[in-house]
Structure 1
Amino acid sequence: MKVTNKQIINVFWKHVRKYPVVTAMLLTGTFSVYTVEIITPWFYKKFFDTLAAPIANGADILVHTLFIIIALELLAWLIYRLNAVGLVRLETRVLADLNETSFNYLICHSYSFFTNSFAGSLVRKVNRLSRAFEEVADQVQFSLIPLIVTVVGILIGVSFRSIVLTATLGVWVIIFLTANYFFARWKQPYEIAKSMKDTEATGVLADAIGNSTTIKLFTGHEHEKQRYHNIIEEWRKVYSFTWNISEIAYGVQSLLMIAIEFIMLYIAIKLWRVGILTVGDFVLIQIYIIRLMRQLWDFGRILRRFYMAFADAAEMVEILELPHEIKDRKTAKELAVRQGKIEFNNVDFGFHQTRKVLNRFNLVIQPGERVALVGPSGAGKSTITHLLFRFFEIDAGHILIDGQDISKVTQKSLRDQIALVPQEPILFHRTLLDNIRYGQRGASDAEVVEAAKKAHCHDFINELPFGYDTYVGERGIKLSGGERQRVAIARAILKNAPILVLDEATSSLDSESEALIQDALRELMKGKTVIVIAHRLSTILSMDRIIVIENGKVIDMGTHQELLNRQGIYKKLWEIQAGGFLP
């Protein structure tokens, strides 16, 4: 989806208009500063006209004029300083609002959105949006408004002295602005390409850093260096091209400014010779030309910075404009779980139209029943639990909890009723106390510690230098796999949801820890509806029912012993695992 500049401006304006008083004061102040700059040269004209034609009280007039000039300059300085304070107040608030808006909307995107996106690139996009606004706000405040006031004011001022000079200057300004505008429009796609390459390079960098261990294990240093070199070289070429054409533009711009200064002064000399202009008019014209050039010199840069800012903002605005894939219905109700019965009725689901994962899938799990899902890789076991959490929308059929269609309840109430212990738990770079408390954010410290004890992670936490206040590192990297999993179990224990999903929850534990955790899980599972995704069949022997899944369908079910008595996939999987790797 291509984002237009209008959409970007609308996003910025939606956040700016929340502060109308400060915004109005800034606009008025900026207009006033540059209006004073248009008026001041007239007093310089009077000053030099007085010098050129001495009169009896000329000295008094000069002193009086000088004080007026100083007073106007001080007034402009004061307003400018006040504006700077106001701009800080406005920009910091809008920057904070933009960051919050981006985060709040981004974090509610779907599971598939995040699996298809680089975390580093998303962070970059959020930061770029706020930086883009800062750039746009600064350009409007310090460049665009001053440019408009200066150009209009100077044309009006010059018109009081000569229509010929006004017409000449006006035509030149139109040519100059039009040329810069079309050049900036032509250059924008290259700025966008540069921005996209920058984001791509950030994603490659973040991907490599996040997989530094894998790179070491597979000695992929040279491969990754070459990969990063290739993307940086592509970025360099685009950046070099945009830089070079900018330098060409600056060169043409300089020639145009030299030309108008010569033309204006040449015409002024002609008018002075016939007595239309005075010496003071030359001072007035020269000051106006200098100030006009100062503003117009930056016009191309203003446009380019606008387009660069829009290019930077476009990627995040595209995300803000992208509808959330999973949304609550307007009539969605809170899910009320009284028993915990789960039903999959004729459920169809596929990640692609050509690849169905579940095909008319049917399964009923009774309240309080402990069910294990087994089957070969790719059978659809994890997909079933993802659909239960409503991470994806199903293509057909219904998923019910206590007779309530989960597509008709709020996502928050649905996920509040289900606890998950994943196979590879990922923790926040926060303290252990915060990570466990995430299961129930209002829990007391004592409740957190109690959950940790039940999950058998209290002992290893106490051995850490800062105990429960220990930061676990990005994604919990400072903990072992088993320690991370026990923290995830403690979090699930604290949540105490009526439905529990265990995705091979003991896979990362050693035998001693697994025995302890199995006790904790048995306690945790009491009175709950439990779904266990099992890869190690030895962990599900005590399940009430084992569901065998293949190609998105239930092909068998029963207890462990019942399934062993049949000549099916379960028995084959059991024999493979029981036999191990030894002959």
Structure 2
Amino acid sequence: MKAVFAYTARHWRRRRLLLAQIAGAILLATFADVLIPLFSGRLVDALLLAGETRDVALSRALEAFAVMVALGAGMVALRHFGWMRVIPLSLGMMSDIAEETFARVQRFSTDWHANSFSGSVMRKVTRGMWAVDQLNDTLLLALLPSAFVLASTTILLAVQWPLMGLVVALGAVAYVAMTVSLAMYYIAPAAKLSNAWDTRIGGTLADALGCNAVVKAYGAEHREDARLINVVGRWRKRSARTWSRHTLAGTSQHVVLLTIRSTLAGVGLWLWWNDKATPGDVTYMLTTYFVVHGYLRDVGMHVHNLQRSVNEMEELVELHDAPIGIEDRKGAVPMRITAGEVRFDNVAFHYGAHETPLYRDLSVTIRGGQRVGLVGHSGSGKTTFVKLIQRLYDVTGGQILIDGQDVKRVTQQSLRSQIAIVPQEPILFHRTLAENIGYGRPGASQAEIERAARLANAHEFIARLPKGYQTLVGERGVKLSGGERQRIALARAFLADAPILILDEATSSLDSESEQLIQAAVERLLRGRTAIVIAHRLSTVRSLDRILVFDRGRIAEDGTHAELMRRPDGRYRHLFERQLGDIRGAAE
């Protein structure tokens, strides 16, 4: 709760004027509500005045009535103003929270994203946003006036009848203390668990729907149904316990309210019997109690709403407080890549909790404009090599330099914007083909986008589509074939025209008919820039300037295809011949 309130207060401070307007209007409206019972008592006394003419009694009653009407009108106007000002406050906070949380989540480390359900993260953000709206309403429009009513009513009653003030004060304190204790220590733990399972539902739904093609491929709809039924069942049990605790707490609060009401009415009768209060005073006491009762009754609901809001914001605040992982250093400057030389200088690296480092004192230089292939068994360190160049992870020792600039000392945006990536499994946005290709260079013209598509051998299939470049590709590009997705990724890289290019077997998903055309286009793309190619099929690296053979995190061999093939017991030769033999065997 402390963390949630601190988070909320930071956003309130950005809108101090709005907050002051809301608080001022609500407190004045509430004070008018407190004064109305006082004048209702005076109205009753005016009607019961003994020894006065009816005209005098009517005059005094009308005065009290006029004040009551004025107070009521003022209360309505002020409350309307306060509620209207809450709208820009809550919408502004919700907008800021959505934008800031999204920006923060976008910048979390690769490891964080690999270990998180996107559906669960979205649920945390959206649920937290709406919880902010409820939190503002509860604190500013409900609990603030309730606290003011209880304090001011107790003071007004205690000034005339100390015993009555004591009854109201003790009853209010007991009620609020019980309500807060139930909310924090009885309901909150159960609500936190039910919210966690609510988040799991979002993650389970997103996981199954995002992989629907796999579900259909294996006829696994019933399995996914059963998986969701299991999660929903556990959520239902947790939620039933939470709601039962809410109900029990509500009943307890009604018992306390009944006790307060009975005690207060009894004290009022005793004061009247002992000539310490007039009938108008008793009317004032009872009317005041009805006001206090309404606020007290609502306090229970508001405290529960507050507790629910806090529970629902907890995961959002945890997102905000989670470490970014890879951050720009203070004083980071934009990177300027000219030649594109990449140098690993005594680099050491290990993943997270892994005790054994992947790299120890790894040193290698890739000259600017050089085309280099990375080969080796799975897990040998090829992919990590290119991820470190992009600074998706930080090295644990040594440094990585591009044109003499340490990648840790430049802004990540400037670094990655000058490195074009073509992954083995291309990822596309559920946007138009033009937008997906244009992602490589914001602001590119339609002519530039089409030129890039032609270079990637994608223009022809795009032109055949009913909406051409304005065709939506579906989530993660599901409407396109694997080869078509790969060509769109290649077109994006052509358009980016970055000085450093990373390809993860960029032609592996293409059919044999278009592979030759794309390979020729890739050859053109490689010219004049530093290119690093992660090769799974070794035939694709034969024409490269240099090949680095990785083995258990070290570079076991380094040379051209011809040089490495001349080593009788070389790892590269062994890998190449084995793969060639597998291909011949498959052909036979």
TM-score in terms of structure 1 length: 0.96
1:167-566 matches, cutoff 5 A: 167-187=166-186, 188-351=188-351, 352-566=353-567
Which secondary structure does the structure 2 equivalent of 1:390 belong to? coil
Cα shift at 1:381: 0.9
Find the aligned partners of 1:493 and 1:98 in 2 and give their Cα distance. 36
User: Unaligned 5+ residue runs, structure 2?
Assistant: none
Find the aligned partners of 1:191 and 1:301 in 2 and give their Cα distance. 15
Cα shift at 1:167: 0.9
2:140 is aligned to: 141
2:40 is aligned to: 44
CA contact (8 A) 2:143 2:302 kept: yes
Which secondary structure does the structure 2 equivalent of 1:425 belong to? coil
Across the aligned residues of Structure 1 and Structure 2, the Cα RMSD in angstroms comes to: 1.7
Cα shift at 1:123: 1.0
Find the aligned partners of 2:162 and 2:249 in 1 and give their Cα distance. 30
1:71-150 matches, cutoff 5 A: 71-150=70-149
CA contact (8 A) 2:503 2:532 kept: yes
Find the aligned partners of 2:334 and 2:82 in 1 and give their Cα distance. 49
Paired amino acid for 1:167: L
Report how many residues are paired.
579
- Cα deviations across residues 57-97 of structure 1 (Å, max 9, x unaligned)? 22233333323222221221111122222111221112111
Find the aligned partners of 1:561 and 1:474 in 2 and give their Cα distance. 44
Which secondary structure does the structure 2 equivalent of 1:344 belong to? strand
Which secondary structure does the structure 1 equivalent of 2:476 belong to? coil
Cα shift at 1:265: 1.1
CA contact (8 A) 2:83 2:141 kept: no
Paired amino acid for 1:279: P
Find the aligned partners of 2:3 and 2:257 in 1 and give their Cα distance. 35
Find the aligned partners of 1:316 and 1:160 in 2 and give their Cα distance. 46
Which secondary structure does the structure 1 equivalent of 2:160 belong to? coil
CA contact (8 A) 2:34 2:291 kept: no
Paired amino acid for 2:34: I
1:32 is aligned to: 28
1:162 is aligned to: 161
Find the aligned partners of 2:295 and 2:271 in 1 and give their Cα distance. 26
CA contact (8 A) 2:342 2:401 kept: yes
Paired amino acid for 1:257: L
Moved over 4 A (4+): none
CA contact (8 A) 2:429 2:477 kept: yes
Cα shift at 1:11: 2.0
Paired amino acid for 2:268: A
Which secondary structure does the structure 1 equivalent of 2:364 belong to? strand
Find the aligned partners of 1:196 and 1:133 in 2 and give their Cα distance. 18
CA contact (8 A) 2:18 2:85 kept: yes
- Cα deviations across residues 311-344 of structure 1 (Å, max 9, x unaligned)? 2111121121122211222232322222111112
Find the aligned partners of 1:77 and 1:426 in 2 and give their Cα distance. 56
Which secondary structure does the structure 1 equivalent of 2:475 belong to? coil
CA contact (8 A) 2:421 2:501 kept: yes
Paired amino acid for 1:195: N
1:63 corresponds to 2:62: yes
1:571 is aligned to: 573
Cα shift at 1:576: 3.5
- Cα deviations across residues 155-185 of structure 1 (Å, max 9, x unaligned)? 1221243111111221111111111222222
Cα shift at 1:44: 0.8
Find the aligned partners of 1:354 and 1:98 in 2 and give their Cα distance. 38
CA contact (8 A) 1:105 1:320 kept: yes
Cα shift at 1:535: 0.6
- Cα deviations across residues 407-441 of structure 1 (Å, max 9, x unaligned)? 22221221122111111111112222111111110
Find the aligned partners of 1:169 and 1:23 in 2 and give their Cα distance. 30
CA contact (8 A) 1:161 1:277 kept: no
- Cα deviations across residues 254-302 of structure 1 (Å, max 9, x unaligned)? 1111111111111111111121111112221222112212111122332
Cα shift at 1:235: 1.5
Find the aligned partners of 1:390 and 1:355 in 2 and give their Cα distance. 20
Cα shift at 1:515: 1.2
Cα shift at 1:346: 2.4
Find the aligned partners of 2:410 and 2:90 in 1 and give their Cα distance. 39
Which secondary structure does the structure 2 equivalent of 1:475 belong to? helix
Cα shift at 1:360: 2.8
CA contact (8 A) 2:139 2:306 kept: no
CA contact (8 A) 1:436 1:448 kept: yes
Paired amino acid for 1:118: F
User: Unaligned 5+ residue runs, structure 1?
Assistant: none
Paired amino acid for 1:238: R
Which secondary structure does the structure 2 equivalent of 1:519 belong to? helix
Is 363-372 or 561-570 further displaced after alignment?
561-570
CA contact (8 A) 1:563 1:571 kept: yes
Cα shift at 1:25: 0.9
Cα shift at 1:223: 2.9
Is 8-17 or 199-208 further displaced after alignment?
8-17
Is 458-467 or 572-581 further displaced after alignment?
572-581
